[in-house]
């Protein structure tokens, strides 16, 4: 048990970082998408195990495995995946949290600040100056995920369907998205959406932003609506921070809002307008997860 392992899992894939017990990177790896489906917790665990075995190999079992997963906001969901992973013999100790916790650890370590993650889903998570948790959003695709890749893409596909019927205005989204999906007409959207994963739907979001950048009014209204929803996340964080001042540390992460993400230019002015102090966003959330694993190992060592 000479290593600890951190995992960042979401709709676009699963990333792994292996650290030695003195904090040196010993390996990295990637795997298939891993997010928590409460009905099938074993599916996320299997994806994580596959990626961890590929990255850590002969170094298993690890001392600690810390796994950050999309959809793991509730302790019940976390525990269901932990139980499956514990039975796989990957590590002496297993802890499952959220992907945003892992990314937050990379940016702020254990200090105060909030992270707005916008990728397949969306959530704001952080800690106040007294260590209290701030959590806004993260309600999943049925109840929330406003402004996320999945939300933007699904709303765009709905607009394409309405335009096809004449219930909505023509939009550049129609030829653009149909071409990306290789579909001859909008009727093909029905079977495609029925079998598509959340990640496959969310992968269309950059094209929605491209159409908005080309001046398409339908696409632009969708992006503006998504940004308005994400602004509400940041405003709520600002209100939670009021006991400690009018400004608060903010980082932007995820495939859409992180460094180079297509939604980032839309969000940067919003951060300033709501009183946020921008920090560099996470570049490798799996590294944050590995640091959390190492911190757990050190804590256990001190208590012995």
CATH number of the domain encompassing residue 36: 3.30.420.40
So what's the pLDDT on residue 138? Answer: 83
The pair of structure tokens assigned to 52 is 């961890």
Residue 238 lies in a domain: no
Q: How far is the C-alpha of 79 from the C-alpha of 223, rounded, in Å?
A: 36
Residue 51 lies in a domain: yes
DSSP β-ladder status, 13-20 and 25-31? antiparallel
So what's the pLDDT on residue 98? Answer: 86
**Burial readout 126-162 (b: 16 or more C-beta within 10 A, e: otherwise):** bbbeeeeebbbbbebbeebbbbbbbbbbbbbbebbbe
CA–CA–CA angle 241, 126, 37 (5° rounding): 135
Q: How far is the C-alpha of 143 from the C-alpha of 205, rounded, in Å?
A: 19
Residue 38 lies in a domain: yes
So what's the pLDDT on residue 1? Answer: 63
Query: Using N-to-C axis directions, what is the helix angle for 149-165 and 205-213, rounded to 10°?
Result: 70
Question: Domain span at residue 37?
Answer: 3-105+284-303
Peptide bond into 202 cis (omega under 30): no
| Size of the chain, expressed as the number of residues it contains | 304
Residue 39 lies in a domain: yes
Query: Using N-to-C axis directions, what is the helix angle for 41-56 and 75-86, rounded to 10°?
Result: 50
pLDDT tens, the chain, 304 aa long:
689 999 998 777 899 999 999 999 999 999 988 877 767 767 888 899 999 998 888 888 999 999 998 877 678 778 888 888 899 999 999 999 988 899 999 999 878 999 999 988 899 999 999 999 999 998 877 888 899 999 999 999 999 999 999 999 999 999 999 999 999 999 999 999 999 988 899 999 999 999 999 999 999 999 999 999 999 999 999 999 999 988 999 999 988 999 899 999 999 999 999 999 999 888 889 999 999 999 989 988 887 7
Q: Residue 220 — φ and ψ, nearest 5°?
A: -65, -40
Query: Using N-to-C axis directions, what is the helix angle for 173-181 and 149-165, rounded to 10°?
Result: 110
Residue 259 lies in a domain: no
Residue 156 lies in a domain: no
So what's the pLDDT on residue 71? Answer: 75
Going across the sheet that includes 13-20, the strands are: 25-31, 13-20, 3-10, 62-69, 91-98
Residue 278 lies in a domain: no
Torsion from C-alpha of 135, 139, 140, 141, nearest 10 degrees: -130
How many distinct structural domains can be found in the chain? 1
CA–CA–CA angle 7, 291, 129 (5° rounding): 115
User: Helix H segments across the chain?
Assistant: 41-56, 75-86, 99-108, 140-143, 149-165, 173-181, 189-195, 198-202, 205-213, 217-241, 254-257, 264-273, 285-303
So what's the pLDDT on residue 197? Answer: 86
Question: How does DSSP classify residue 281?
Answer: P
Residue 79 lies in a domain: yes
Q: How many CB atoms lie within 10 A of CB 222?
A: 26
């Amino acid at each position: 048990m000479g290593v600890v392992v951190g995992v960042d899992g979401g709709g676009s894939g699963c990333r792994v970082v292996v650290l030695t017990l003195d904090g040196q990177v010993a390996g990295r790896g990637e795997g298939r998408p891993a997010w928590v489906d409460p009905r099938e917790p074993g599916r996320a665990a299997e994806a994580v195990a596959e990626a961890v075995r590929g990255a850590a190999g002969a170094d298993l079992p690890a001392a600690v495995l810390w796994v950050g997963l999309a959809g793991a906001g509730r302790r019940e969901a976390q525990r269901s995946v932990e139980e499956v992973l514990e039975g796989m013999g990957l590590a002496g100790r297993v802890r499952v949290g959220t992907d945003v916790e892992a990314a937050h650890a990379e940016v702020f370590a254990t200090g105060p600040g909030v992270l707005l993650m916008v990728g397949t889903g969306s959530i704001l998570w952080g800690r106040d100056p007294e260590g209290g948790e701030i959590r806004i959003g993260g309600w999943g695709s049925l109840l929330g995920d406003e402004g996320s890749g999945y939300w933007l893409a699904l709303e765009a596909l709905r607009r394409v369907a309405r335009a096809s019927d004449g219930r909505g205005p023509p939009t550049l989204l129609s030829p653009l998205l149909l071409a990306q999906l290789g579909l001859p007409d909008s009727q093909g959207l029905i079977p495609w959406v029925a079998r598509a994963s959340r990640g496959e739907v969310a992968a269309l979001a950059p094209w929605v932003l491209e159409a908005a950048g080309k001046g398409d009014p339908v696409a632009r209204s969708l992006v503006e609506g998504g940004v308005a929803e994400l602004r509400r996340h940041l405003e709520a964080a600002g209100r939670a921070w009021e006991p400690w001042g009018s400004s608060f540390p903010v980082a932007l992460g995820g495939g859409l809002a992180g460094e180079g993400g297509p939604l980032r230019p839309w969000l940067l002015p919003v951060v300033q307008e709501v009183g946020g102090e921008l920090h560099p966003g996470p570049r490798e959330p799996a590294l944050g997860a590995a640091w959390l694993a190492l911190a757990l190992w050190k804590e256990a060592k001190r208590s012995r």
